[in-house]
Amino acid sequence: MERLIIHVDMDAFYASVEIRDNVELRGKPVIVGAMPDQRGVVATCSYEARRYGVRSGMNIKEAYRLCPEGVYLRPDFDKYRRVSQQLHGIWDPYATASEPIALDETFLDVTGTARDFDDASRIAHEIKRRTADEMGLTCSVGLAYCKAAAKTASEEIKPDGYYEIRTREEFVELMRDRDVRELFSVGPKTADRLYGMGIRTVGEIAEHRLDVESALGKHGRVLIDLSEGIDDREVVPYNPEDAKSISREITFQKDVSDYSLLIDVILLLAMSVEERASRYGLCGTTVNLKITYSDMRSVVKSRNGLRNRDAVSIARMAWDMLLKLPRRPVRLIGVGISGISDGRTRQTTLLEICGEAPSEDELDHYLERMRRKYRFDFVRNREWMLRKNTIHGVVEHMRIQRSRSPSGIERR
């Protein structure tokens, strides 16, 4: 059956909220994130700041070099969460399911609420109009027959854009000559591998399907489908407020007895948990560690008292619990936080973006040590590495490196 999916994406969300709430900021390059004299990155910046070349995710010192006259603000996540809830109050009634991707982005399944594509288009425009009228904020909206195409559509015209992709054929036509990086789920690493095979455009992916499949496996097949406009993923309703816990776990290809490897894997899992928690502006007070041994017996340990949401604080509590457990070969390891609330305290809400976490240096230190130990650049590959499908591959690489090294237990 034909599906009707809308993707709404707020324009320069944090910066737009700050500008809306303070007229003096209007027309100025506004940069929300770390302060220029601190460590950290740009969270969001206004379109005026983008004209100077400032981008989200950019090191704050680099942003300052490009735009010293910018207005630098710390993020106020409590406020953005409140605004996000109000936005969902407008958007969600139009859909049978709403799946937030971040505080400022959501997929809406309007298949059951719109009569046809034209009606869905009317809904999309109403969402844009009401978001502007009632919230004083602009968004870009994409309407399409599947999620990947809806997301692509919302990115076509920004800010304050609307774009629709009605059919697979339209999607294929639109994307054919574009760089592979424009395809959903293609990060820098995957792009490099595709370039290495002589594939530069989306259209060339399907032309080289055998190469792509053998080089990239399952992800390769997903990419081939996407390049042909096929994406059957459902819009999964998710309300971060309902989330009782955030966790990430890994099953090793071979059981692991090397506890120094487990310690490092815990840090990666903690980084992944931190990333997800901060994306939704959530924090927890309890750290959970789950271990399944080679005999399939599982233990779950919990400890209260997590004060910061950063990876090192989470990992440190998990390490403590691990070291008190019996040492036996491990099949699965998981790290999570629970006791979730919406980052109320200033300390936790500012952590991730404003690298003011006391443990930020410590994280760098650990990652540098791991870089040498596993011959893998965890800092440079951070974003890519933490994705659900890639973290397994990275951990496997680590396990294999350890089993080859003279100090690795499996070698003995």
Catalytic residues: 105
State the Cα–Cα distance between residues 305 and 286, nearest whole angstrom.
Answer: 6
State the Cα–Cα distance between residues 245 and 306, nearest whole angstrom.
Answer: 13
Binding mask 7-36 for Mg ion (x = CB under 5 A): --xx--------------------------
Cβ-based nearer residue to Mg ion, 158 or 166: 158
Q: Is residue 42 involved in binding Mg ion (CB under 5 A)?
A: no
State the nearest-atom distance from the C-beta of 247 to Mg ion, in Å: 26
CA distances from 301 to 116, 288, 291 (A): 51, 6, 9
Q: How many residues bind Mg ion (CB under 5 A)?
A: 3
Binding mask 78-117 for Mg ion (x = CB under 5 A): --------------------------x-------------
The total of other beta-carbon atoms located within 10 Å of residue 291's CB is 21
Cβ-based nearer residue to Mg ion, 10 or 60: 10
Binding mask 186-225 for Mg ion (x = CB under 5 A): ----------------------------------------
Cβ-based nearer residue to Mg ion, 48 or 104: 104
State the nearest-atom distance from the C-beta of 154 to Mg ion, in Å: 9
DSSP 181: G
State the nearest-atom distance from the C-beta of 103 to Mg ion, in Å: 9
- Considering only residues 322-381, where is the footprint of Mg ion by CB under 5 A? none
State the nearest-atom distance from the C-beta of 310 to Mg ion, in Å: 24
State the nearest-atom distance from the C-beta of 61 to Mg ion, in Å: 24
Tokens of 27: 């027309």
Amino acid at position 24, single letter: E
Cβ-based nearer residue to Mg ion, 20 or 371: 20
State the Cα–Cα distance between residues 133 and 127, nearest whole angstrom.
Answer: 10
DSSP labels, 283-349: E-SEEEEEEEETTS-EEEEEEE-----SHHHHHHHHHHHHHTS----EEEEEEEEES-EE--SHHHH
Cβ-based nearer residue to Mg ion, 10 or 287: 10
State the Cα–Cα distance between residues 31 and 171, nearest whole angstrom.
Answer: 34
Q: CA 153, 157, 161, 164 torsion: positive or negative?
A: negative
State the nearest-atom distance from the C-beta of 150 to Mg ion, in Å: 14
Lateral strand order in the sheet of 71-73: 42-45, 30-33, 71-73
DSSP labels, 241-277: GG--EEEEEEEEEEEE--HHHHHHHHHHHHHHHHHHH
Cβ-based nearer residue to Mg ion, 229 or 240: 240
172 and 228 in contact (C-beta within 8 Å)? yes
Stretch that binds Mg ion, among 4-12, 251-259, 261-269, 331-339 (CB under 5 A): 4-12
Stretch that binds Mg ion, among 6-14, 49-57, 141-149, 393-401 (CB under 5 A): 6-14
State the Cα–Cα distance between residues 391 and 120, nearest whole angstrom.
Answer: 37
Binding residues vs Mg ion (CB under 5 A): 9-10, 104
